[in-house]
Amino acid sequence: MTTESTKSEKQKMLDGDLYHPSDPQLVEEKARARKLTRAFNETPESKLKKREEIIKSLFGSTGNNLYMESNFHCDYGYNIHIGENFYANYDCVILDGGTITIGDNCMLAPGVHIYTAGHPMDPTERSTGIEYTKPVVIGDNVWIGGRSVINPGVTVGNNVVIASGSVVTKDIPDNAVVAGVPTKVIKYIKF
């Protein structure tokens, strides 16, 4: 059994424990992700297959059908898992120190940000540079409006619509339409 003191910084990151992002292995893995995102962002849209190959080599897992606009940025890539029929519009940022799971038929409008990283509240502890992660889960058939932010540890249910400019700080139930800072349910979708 691995104890806290024998875990690598990467394992601590994946487990949601406090870790040092300046660890050489993590720095190297971030450099790989930056190289791949730069290649993706610089590859013309006319080279659709090449763009898909780059994203599929970057992400932990994907469905067959996906499309992403440039510019896209992430921390590691391998902690991002997306389902079928995924679309991300311009300027998407996914900070994936922790796992991010996105279901089928999801759309991200321009400027959507998804974060898993957090920092200690205590300023002395925070000044050491340590951080932690909390996973994000987004269900099937979710539409996230432009410039919305999904914060660490949030689970978004199925069939959810998140209005533009929203800041999601808590879990969202299935079939909800949410808006605001922080988000609140404004109605439920009836089928």
Q: Do strands 132-133 and 155-156 pair parallel, antiparallel, or not at all (unpaired)?
A: unpaired
Cα pseudo-dihedral 159, 165, 167, 173, rounded to 10: -20
What phi and psi, each to the nearest 5 degrees, are found at residue 11? -65, -40
Please tell me which residue in 73, 81, 113, 119 is annotated as part of the active site: 119
Rg over CA atoms, the chain: 17
Is 119 annotated as catalytic?
A: yes
DSSP class of 5: G
For residue 171, which phi and psi values (nearest 5 degrees)? -60, 150
Angstrom distance (rounded) from CA 177 to CA 184? 8
Residues catalogued as catalytic: 119
